[in-house]
């Protein structure tokens, strides 16, 4: 999520880039860590590694989780709309 926000890319696009091998990454405990192109003290982006204030770090992590949840909700709403459209298209016309 940090990489997506820093580079102005959606999570969906980021997932496609990872699957296509366009972005260098490593997987650790089920999470993708992406090599940062911006200078930092750590090469691999992981929010918990570079937050100095624990409360600030927790807030930052919650903001990231919120944005991720909002994107997932948006994608699910789109899927529901598609399924509803297909369902109503297959229903017989009522008098």
Residues 28-44 pLDDT 10s: 887 878 876 654 434 44
What is the band of 54 on the pLDDT scale with cuts at 50, 70, 90?
low
CA-based nearest residue to 91, from 34, 55, 83, 3: 83
The Cα 81–Cα 58 span in angstroms is 34
Residue 77 has pLDDT above 60, yes or no: yes
| Residues 1 and 10 sit within 8 Å (Cβ to Cβ) | no
Residue 87 has pLDDT above 70, yes or no: yes
């Amino acid at each position: 999520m940090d990489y997506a926000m820093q580079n102005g890319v959606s999570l969906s696009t980021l997932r496609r880039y990872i699957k296509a091998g366009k972005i260098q990454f490593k997987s650790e405990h089920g999470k993708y860590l992406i090599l940062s192109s911006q200078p930092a003290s750590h090469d691999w982006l992981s929010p918990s590694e570079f937050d100095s204030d624990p409360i600030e770090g927790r807030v930052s992590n919650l903001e990231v989780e919120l944005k991720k949840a909002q994107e997932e909700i948006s994608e699910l709403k789109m899927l529901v709309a598609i399924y509803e459209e297909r369902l109503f298209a297959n229903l017989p016309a009522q008098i």
